[in-house]
Amino acid sequence: MPISAANRHDPRLVRVDDSWLRLPNPYDVPVEICAGPDVPVEPVAVDELLTVLETADTLRTLARAVPGLDPEPRVERVVCTPDFHKGAGIPIGTVLRTVGALIPQAVGNDVNCGMRVEATSLTVDQLRPHLDRLERRLRHLFFAGGRRIGLTARQREGLLREGLPGLLADGVPADPVGAWRQVGPDDLADLDGRLHATGFPVDSAEDFRDWIASGGGTSYDSIIGSVGGGNHFAELQYVAEVRDGATAYAWGLAPGQVVLMVHSGSLSLGHQANATGRDLARAGWPRAVPLPRNRILPIPLDERTAPARRRYLTAFGNAANFALGNRFFLALMLRAGLAEVAGELRSRLVYDAPHNLLWPEPDGTVLHRKGATPAAGPGGDGQRPTDLYGEPVIVPGSMGAPSYLLRGLGSSRALASACHGAGRSIPRGAASRGGDAELDAFLREFRVVTPVDHRDPAVAARRDIVDAWRRDLKQEAPWAYKEVGPVVRSLGRAGVAEPVVELRPLLTVKG
DNA sequence: ATGTTC
């Protein structure tokens, strides 16, 4: 193989085989990166991985300083996905299994950032003639006053405490307005949780009283129905290629079928929950232990920290539930646009997958995912349709690029986790490449609907707004991301997940 | 990643 930027790896990494790299370390923590020889690994991200190892050392210090911790805190295993790249603190694409402690900062700031995919009853041939009009309608629905998601305090509290079952406990409002009009029998039928996570039961929502109250009665707020920034989007796609016919059929996907894909998180609620976790970890930090240099503070799983953990996990669960609800409403908004231009349609959930979550287990282990997606294999309790074929793994491409739907294979080496995208080739915040004309041509070609309509002369006159918007959007341009193909092939070769369908974009709404 | 609406 020729030496190129794409196959040079950081010298600190040891290639184990075609699928895995290992980071040797003095803490005896298994650290492995799932990446083929054609997937470049950012040295800066490897630097950050060393701070994860400092956290392994922090847990040892805690175990010595706080007597009687049972089980003794330690980092059991670290796995990085093929799209692993630099983030704030712990790299994005890091899966961490700990024993005897949880680490709020090992979850991305945006709690339960994730994907929702729905299969519609429309075909790409039916939709193509209406794309110009759809683009205009979606701009109105997402960015120009068309959102109109009214929620009662009861619905808000239900959502934060139970997720979608709580939101929809009383069914659809008697006189539905806006996105609510798109709720159909399939949405209510899926609420038994057999297909996917519909909610995380938590016993209160005290940290979010302001959002719940929001003026009383049926009220509107500035958060629900927002796409969010960065790499978040709401997209219409179609099934371009079927790679695994049996699984595609079981998941209700056929060639040419129009699919909705939403990538979004918990917006400000997740940030608030994470800040709560960080503050509680700091407030409860044992005086005998110096603050770790990397500022990543674990919370040991003992009696002393029980009230703090309960408070954090409640806020965390509230935020995670909000994200499920927001993705649901974003999908309803896409459905509303489709219904306006192509007539009434059916749309059914394929899967909702989280990227940023932690899972405390009764045995004292905690699985943390930051920018990685679950990829459980076939099996489970056999009660869910997905148990037959493995968990749906949604890998979005960068703007304009194909996305993939894979089936998880439950690799224990990979901590049953897959990548959540192609991964950046240019870190966020680095100088963005490409001229304005190049960006504009790209946005037109791929029908990218954005909040700033720079073709409107009144908007174009606001240079400061347009410049800031272009700067941010260039960070999400395809040239800021790796190619998704080699990343997806790495997952297959490693036995993490296998492709089921390839999806190509028709129209993208960027927040 | 970071509240764009009645």
For A12 and B4, how far is CA from C1' in angstroms?
44
Confirm if A343 and A335 have CB atoms less than 8 A apart.
Answer: no
Q: What is the pLDDT of residues A278-305, one digit of tens each?
A: 999 999 999 989 999 999 999 999 999 9
Tell me if A84 sits within 8 A of A13, measured CB to CB: no
* Chain B bases closer than 7 angstroms to a protein Cβ: 1-6
Q: What pLDDT is recorded for position A8? A: 63
Residue pLDDT, tens place only, A379-434: 877 777 678 899 999 999 888 899 999 999 999 999 999 999 988 887 777 766 77
Residue A202 included in any domain: yes
In a domain, A442, yes or no: no
Beta-carbon contacts of A145 under 8 Å, excluding residues fewer than 6 positions away, are none
pLDDT band for position A4 (50/70/90)? very low
Residue pair A25/A46 in contact (Cβ under 8 Å)? The answer is no
In a domain, A456, yes or no: no
The verdict on residue A457 lying in a domain is no
In chain A, the number of structural domains is 1
Residue A385, both tokens: 């349709």
Point out the residue nearest to B6 (C-alpha to C1'). Answer: A220
Q: Is A308 exposed, middle or buried (0-12, 13-18, 19+ CB in 10 A)?
A: middle
DSSP string, A176-228: --GGGGG--HHHHHGGGSSSS------S--GGGHHHHHTTSSSB--SSTT---
Binding residues for strand B (Cβ < 7 Å):
A 88, 92, 109-110, 113, 142-143, 145, 147-149, 215, 219-232, 265, 267-268, 271, 428, 451, 511
pLDDT tens by residue, A146-205: 888 999 999 999 999 999 999 999 999 998 999 999 999 989 888 876 667 889 999 999
Round to a whole number and report the distance in Å from the CA of A234 to the C1' of B6: 23
Q: Report which residue is nearest nucleotide B5 when distances run from CA to C1'.
A: A145
User: Which pLDDT tens digit goes with each residue over A234-288?
Assistant: 999 999 999 999 999 999 999 999 999 999 999 999 999 999 999 999 999 999 8
Report percent pLDDT > 90 for chain A: 69
Mean pLDDT of A320-333: 97
Average pLDDT over residues A336-363: 94
Choose the weakest-confidence range: A69-78, A187-196, A322-331.
A187-196
Residue A271 lies in a domain: yes
Helices (H), A345-431: 386-389
What pLDDT, on a 0 to 100 scale, did the predictor assign at position A5? 47
Burial (Cβ within 10 Å: 0-12, 13-18, ≥19) of residue A192: exposed
Q: What is the CATH number of the domain that holds A356?
A: 3.90.1860.10
Q: Between the CA of A401 and the C1' of B3, what is the distance in angstroms?
A: 29
DSSP state of A28: -
User: CA torsion, points A399, A405, A408, A413, in degrees to nearest 10?
Assistant: -30
Cβ(A183)–Cβ(A148) below 8 Å? no
Classify residue A476: in a domain, yes or no.
Answer: no
Find the nucleotide nearest A147 (Cα to C1′): B5
> Does the pLDDT at position A9 exceed 60?
yes
Give the range with max mean pLDDT: A191-200, A205-214, A453-462: A205-214
**What b/e string do you get for A31-41 counting C-beta neighbours within 10 Å, with b at 16 or more?**
bbbbbbbbbbb
Residues 6+ apart with CB under 8 A from A241: A255, A501, A502
Q: What is the pLDDT of residue A194?
A: 67
Q: Integer distance in angstroms from CA A143 to C1' B4? A: 6
Is A97 part of any domain?
Answer: yes
Q: Which nucleotide is nearest to A218 (CA to C1')?
A: B6
With a CB cutoff of 8 Å and minimum separation 6, the contacts of A9 are: A15, A21, A40, A41
The residue whose CA lies nearest the C1' of nucleotide B1 is A110
A428/B4 CA-to-C1' distance in Å: 22
Higher pLDDT, A138 or A148: A138
Q: Which domain holds residue A222?
A: 5-425+481-509
Q: Are A326 and A332 in contact (CB under 8 A)?
A: no
Establish if A383 belongs to a structural domain.
yes
SS3 state at A456: coil
Phi and psi at A170, nearest 5°, equal -100, 15
Distance from residue A471's CA to nucleotide B4's C1', rounded to whole Å: 17
Closest listed residue to residue A439, CA positions, set A466, A458, A459, A465: A466
A10 CA → B3 C1’, Å: 40
Å: A361 CA to B4 C1': 39
pTM over 0.85: yes
pLDDT at A326: 97
Q: How far apart are CA A273 and CA A318, in angstroms?
A: 8
